[in-house]
Chains A and B, each alone.
Chain A
């Protein structure tokens, strides 16, 4: 053994460790923290206290007082927050153990936060507590937004505050709001055109913004200079800070009342009780493996197919969720979701729909193991852009919900409904520009909260009910919104006819909207959704999924002038406007649902629809009276009633001919038996070895999730690859505009070759 290989003595090793700790170049996201979604084991203090008799009534009092305090803080933020997200419920508040295990969050707001907010607290405990230049003191508060250190996405900002009792940290509290604007490449905080992590705007690891109760004005000024809405940054910083202070007051009050020991035991027992109950509930599910494959059709900049496979294996009280085989990350696209964000999409399905009665702490996930391919879009590397950081979470949610009814249908004890998947895309507009009050703003419309609910095993889904991630969120009053921002909804909250997921029970439907800017020198809109070529939401047990949804534009005219001069041309209907094109001289077009900020001239119209939740069961079992009710309400056309639901009726009176309807449905069942092919015959003709030619496809193909198909772009253009994820080269895509220019240049060259005149 050489001198260099000799182990250090214990004393020397301590010095080496101290040296290395002090010489760390960069405290990036810590994998030891970021890959652990479970609560920590008992501390020695908790072990000691839990070995003694426990007063269950006192523990329950602590739990209820904490949740009451969290709900109070939620209300404070919703009432006083400046961000649209705050006003409409895209926020939460949380209480943690001293070690950083999230124990409770507010009843309202975004439940998914329960799965990600522990990461930054663990970072603070691990790195800043003993760091001489930082430290943790009574009165401190840390700010944080970077999803790579634990957050859903970088448009959310949190305030994290230690709670000291007799000189020691006894708990942590936090408040978090979807603030919107964060200085990203595009206004509004979710840039679909983000091409690197440096386009994502503010990337705040947890750092101290209040020092012993005093605001660090120097840091605030830096933050205000980094975003487009400096007033918003300051106002909502105060909103979150004072809401966190209120929680801290409530926590200290209950400690004064019940004592430190009971408080500490309550937090730990809450974690352990939730884990025990979650494990019991998993054990009720029949053992086996349940699988679903979903696809997304967009990077938010171009259409391509991204696979999201999921296999849930139940063995006793253990659940393993396997996402291997998912599409690779893209190093210049914004749709990647961090592993923590993907997990929070999964846990949203559990907390909101499967076990909605459980307290919302991180230990609900203790019985769950999650398998991924590092480097996939569900588990990207730290250098991947996270402009939106939601598509993976949305699919993780949809996969969980699509499977859960299959897991639990036979269970004699249920905690939520058998339900088809909720709509899972944020079909809304982001906006940015100068308001009628001469302020620059960048944010998002609350219409994202108008998602259609999935059909249940016994009832239709609810229309434009709530986002899947926040049951108590709101869509806002348009007239109030128009006081703040210079655009109007010319069509607002009108259920889009035939935008329905069909079934025995149909999915809840989404509404259509048409926006136009007015009275602003500078304005633009953006969108960050997918699902224009491949439906984003599946059905359940023979029910159909939702339709695809386009973005539409009517440009080249000022609609406000048109409405003033020729009001008879205007139609309050998405479908009619596009099919009849009633405004002369306008340019009508449809697009996929990912649109980087596009400047809007006064009177340009941008239109889209919210989507439908999945349908449940065979369409031929739908009550004809319910079909007629949907016609009467304007939800479906007569054509849909006849051709999808096989109803025979009088189109004038909507009286159903029961006998003829039964005959039509029986005939359709016979037709199915005629056209349906035995499975082996079908498979022989249907299954291919690889994805279809001509479609840019990413992810596994078939059951083999070890091999990933991809199209990589290099200097020579696109190259098809099939390789394990670990061997996949970095995937980067060309700018769609560059491809369009190349196509146009080729056309010009071809025209020149034929001798045709060209201006180019």
Chain B
């Protein structure tokens, strides 16, 4: 298996050892590094997403996070603008290096697995996707 789907929007190209976007195949970052280093980042006021449902002029707690305590940090694919990841962080807290993959071990684990492997998304109902679409795209970047 060359292209290993790692999240809804990320895959690792084991040949090139790169993180790639699964929507547009944008080359994001070295697979041996934090994929977030290759994304666009935006500091979102949480009240824009979780807007106050009760009047903030009248009440302290309104269904909106406190923007002085919490920010929504959004990570976008520079190729297609897909929102790949979201973190809720106190202002100034470094984003989390969430997936530090042992690439050598991954290569060994996936050795011998074909490029048309079916990966299930759940067990309660049969929802699968094939990694073949990634390999079909090979050469198109």
Chain A residues within CB distance 8 Å of chain B: 286-293, 295, 297, 305, 403, 405-406, 409-419, 456-458, 497-499, 502, 504, 532-535, 538-545, 547-552, 575, 578-579, 581, 588-592, 616-621, 639, 643-644, 668-673, 675-680, 682-683, 686-688, 690-692, 694-695, 697, 701-703
Contact = CB atoms under 8 A, between A and B. Distances in A.
Nearest to B37: A679
Nearest to B122: A417
B131 to A, nearest CB: 9
B141 interface: no
Contacts of B119: 409-412
Nearest to A534: B70
Interface of B: 4-9, 36-43, 46, 49-51, 53-55, 58-66, 68-70, 72-76, 78, 80-102, 105-106, 109, 113, 117-125, 127
A579 B113 contact: no
Given A542-B84, A669-B80, A687-B93, 18 more contacts: A403-B98, A406-B6, A412-B119, A418-B121, A534-B90, A541-B84, A542-B86, A617-B8, A620-B83, A669-B82, A672-B81, A676-B39, A676-B42, A678-B40, A678-B78, A680-B37, A686-B92, A687-B92
Contact of A549 (B6, B63, B75, B125): B63
A687 B64 CA distance: 23
B59 A692 contact: no
B47 to A, nearest CB: 10
Of B7, B37, B64, most buried by chain A (CB within 10 Å of CB) is B7
A619 B58 CA distance: 30
Nearest to A618: B83
Nearest to B98: A291
Contacts of B109: 286-287
Given A533-B70, A676-B42, A545 B88 contact: yes
A683 B61 contact: no
B125 A458 contact: yes
Given A502-B49, A677-B41, A457 B54 contact: no
Contacts of A621: 82
Of B36, B85, B96, B119, most buried by chain A (CB within 10 Å of CB) is B96
Contacts of B124: 416-417
B54 A533 contact: no
A280 to B, nearest CB: 13
A678 B76 CA distance: 10
B54 to A, nearest CB: 4
A373 B2 CA distance: 40
B68 A417 contact: no
Contacts of A533: 61, 65-66, 69-70
A532 B49 contact: no
A643 B102 CA distance: 40
A534 B6 CA distance: 28
A676 B40 contact: yes
Contacts of B95: 683
B63 A679 contact: no
A692 B91 contact: yes
Nearest to B64: A548
By Cβ-Cβ distance, the 5 closest A-B pairs, closest first, are: A676-B40, A669-B81, A688-B92, A417-B122, A550-B61
B105 A287 contact: yes
Given A541-B8, A686-B92, A458 B121 contact: yes
B122 A305 contact: no
Nearest to A676: B40
B113 A412 contact: yes
B51 to A, nearest CB: 8
Contacts of A543: 86
Contacts of B76: 672-673, 676
Of A403, A550, A620, most buried by chain B (CB within 10 Å of CB) is A550
Contact of B59 (A411, A590, A616): A590
A184 B40 CA distance: 51
B69 A541 contact: no
A317 B60 CA distance: 48
A36 B109 CA distance: 32
Contacts of B97: 291, 703
A387 B123 CA distance: 38
Contacts of A676: 39-42, 74, 76, 78
A575 B54 contact: yes
A677 B73 CA distance: 11
